[in-house]
A and B are shown apart, each in its own frame.
Chain A
Amino acid sequence: MPHHTVFEAKIEHLQILDETGNLDKKLAKDTLNDDQVVYLYEQMRICRALDDIAFKLQRSGRMGTYPQNKGQEANAVGSALAMVKGNDWIVPSYRENAALFMHGMPMHMVIQYWMGDERGSQFPDGVNITPLSVPIGTHMLHATGIAWAMKQRKVKDAAVITYFGDGATSEGDFHNAMNFASVMQVPTIFYCQNNSWAISLPREQQMNSATVAQKAIAYDMPTIRVDGNDIFAVYKATQDARKRAIEGGGPSFIEGVTYRLADHTTADDASRYRDPKEVEAWAERDPLIRTRMYMESVGVWDDKKQEELETRAETIVKEVINTAISVPEPDKADFFNYMFAEIPEDLKKQRDTMRTTSIGRNPSQIGLKAPAQAVAQNA
């Protein structure tokens, strides 16, 4: 056969709950029940409130850079619900707060983290989440490795989900994580939040491919594109992927098509590079609006409930901020104490004297007793 086709592939797109709150009942079968929908809506709303207050905190100078999740929350909550808390691991980026909260991360820790305190990543025992990851596109390999350990130890009913953006798929480590996961056939779910932008770079300049989902074809990895603002589609795709994963079917890829409604972070000004019309159009496709329309249409939600939720969300996030703010300041030498399980002698000396000069480390060199004294004496 001189000229023939040796491989074929296609990418499917899934939407179950459309922009107007209409549900495709057939596709929705065996996905979310109404209680779950309400629960996810609440999670999204609370997360949105956290965004708002964090933004204000940053603007008033009480917090550093913070990346809002606004507009993308359906990806986080829909997928997190399909994963099993306690069994599974999450290897996050930084724009899926609600997923982390649903899997046991105390909410105030994310604020603590963005306030420049590593203790915000010191998750309690049993919370299977790796730290938020600033270096883009490099953490997914850990998801492959953690899932590999699950396979190796024959852990039952366990999988790993890792989140990342459209921009992250350009990094070499994206390719590395996908290739290793598919070769080793480990239970990793690669969830790409394609929000169309990587800071100022639109998706069309990030990649030449029509979809992100097709990148998984390179690895013969099951892959799907879903409406990322549709909690049903997100849930369904993740549920399918997890089922495949725990049954030994290896990794899967999910592209959630979504949009970041806020600036990249509080350090960014998206109006420099984004058409306001584009933002407006996407604001209408906000997952919160859509989910609320659905809930109202099936009679499980009304204005009163909405009001109550908003008040509750307000209360919760204020408390979260208070908790974050009232955490005692870290010891000044905190950053030494976790360098290794056991700190080498020389590092201990650096820590105990907060000095690197030889005389500082050994003040006896100039006949002094302690560094503090040395300063007093000479300054």
Chain B
Amino acid sequence: MDNEMTLSFIAISENEGLARMVMTSFIASLDPTIDELAEFKTIVSEAVTNAIIHGYEEDAQGIVTIRAKRDGRKITMTISDEGRGISDLEQAMEPLFTTKPERERSGMGFTIMESFSDHLSVWSEPQKGTAITFSKDFSPIHSKITMGER
């Protein structure tokens, strides 16, 4: 294990950006490509937004926790909340399914997280909370086209 961190914060939407910034800093030494970084930030954003709005209804009290590890060029993360949980996980993970259409949620969060990660698993229990664990492998530095000085 090369590095390890935990970040937790209260459920307000301002912290979606905080979470992306923190995780961007955490993986900076991997020197990710623009697309790798964008996909990684998208996964973080989807999972954290879900915890804030679905887990806690943005109550500014519930705590969202991100645990992250770096082993070589693999990042493994768990984003968890102790909020309302999900009763029908299979349905929740279907593309376009959302319980908040009135808030213009698209129901694409789980689909995007699955597509952009190398491995994803979800634990959830109603009234207990939800935890999403994913991993993403970053391509070796030497396989990247680099321009100018590094």
Tell me, yes or no, whether A binds B. Answer: no
B-side residues, CB < 8 A to A, are none
